[in-house]
Amino acid sequence: MTRSVRPASATDAEAATGLLAELHAHLGVHRPADLLRRTRRLSRFDYGKANPPPLLLVDDDTPIGFATYDLFAPSKWWAGSLRISEFLVTSSALGTGAGAVLLAELHEIARTAGVAVSEPDEVCTTEERYIGSHVINFDYERRRAGHWISLRADAAENGWPTPRLDDRWHTELHDDPEPGHLYAEGEVPFLLLPDGRVVTARFRTIYVEEYLGHGSQNRWTLALAGRALRTNGKLLIDHSWSRAENRPARAVPVDGGHLMVNYAYYDSNHFGSDSGTIDYLIDLAAHTVAQREHLTFEPD
């Protein structure tokens, strides 16, 4: 039996995805769309110098492990690095020295590129299973899941509408994101009316491309008894509401027959940040919502 390491090819797509599925299962990750995207990318062999293909560890022709990594070339400003993204030795080969063989190849690639391996060696040679925090931040995801569990418990106790979150990006197939791709959508209790009813905030997290930078952006609407409130223009709501970090406050009557609640708001872009508060003004008779901003822009 000959043990060796080689770059994966398009014909390895199914085997490499099976190894990734084992890594996800071991770490309790449920992201079927990630597996589909990676299979498609490998099948098309969509890799290059800046994004190298996975490494496969094989016994003869049988894959027993894999690693993915990012290679950052050195420059006049920094030394560069090889950053391990994912690392797996399959269960049948654990404890046979396979992790050391795969890690040695990563160090050789780094040495040839004139850089060092930035992630710790010990995890790869002892546990032989690893996902970098830049790929999946488990601490953040545990905190986020905890926020949703807590909010659902509070909603059940107080009789609020049940909060919901549909994580589309990890459960539905997309290739590289394009404008309009839906990452997630959900709904949380947003404010309490004096008569006991609850206005909910609905969000759709959509991939956008704009001059301030590409990425995901929340688009919000407010709803009462399942019916969206009309608004004039874009509704601004702090991103923390889509992470289930907040609880609804009771709206109070204000001049003009409106009901108002005031919440903190923060947003940043390449030019600076907006911070302050926003008044949300509900007109039940007209079934509308308006906002009154008290924000300060701080340039970078």
Q: What pLDDT score was predicted for residue 250?
A: 98
Q: Are residues 126 and 136 in contact, defined by beta-carbon separation less than 8 angstroms?
A: no
User: In the numeric block, which tokens belong to residue 285?
Assistant: 């008779």
How far the first Cα of the chain sits from its last, in Å, is: 59
Q: What pLDDT score was predicted for residue 141?
A: 93
Q: Are residues 61 and 1 in contact, defined by beta-carbon separation less than 8 angstroms?
A: no
Distances from the Cα of 34 to the Cα of 30, 248, 294, angstroms: 9, 34, 40
Q: Are residues 203 and 241 in contact, defined by beta-carbon separation less than 8 angstroms?
A: yes
**Kind and range of the H or E run holding 263:** strand 258-268
Q: What pLDDT score was predicted for residue 79?
A: 87
- Spatial distance between the Cα atoms of 221 and 232, rounded to a whole number of angstroms: 11
Q: What pLDDT score was predicted for residue 109?
A: 95
Hey, what domains does the chain have and what are their CATH numbers?
A: 3-131 (3.40.630.30), 138-299 (no CATH)
Nearest to 15 by CA among 33, 34, 39: 39
Q: Are residues 250 and 223 in contact, defined by beta-carbon separation less than 8 angstroms?
A: no
| pTM (two decimals) | 0.87
Which stretches in the chain have pLDDT values below 50?
none
- Outline where the chain has alpha helix (H): 13-26, 32-44, 98-113, 121-126, 138-158, 168-171
Q: What pLDDT score was predicted for residue 212?
A: 59
Burial 58-81 (b: 16+ CB within 10 A, else e): bbeeebbbbbbbbbeeeeeeeebb
pLDDT by residue (tens digit) across 46-65? 887 768 999 999 999 899 99
Q: State which amino acid sits at residue 48.
A: G
pLDDT by residue (tens digit) across 102-137? 999 999 999 999 999 987 889 999 999 999 999 999
Nearest to 30 by CA among 145, 125, 113: 145
User: In the numeric block, which tokens belong to residue 79?
Assistant: 């030394």
Q: What pLDDT score was predicted for residue 211?
A: 61
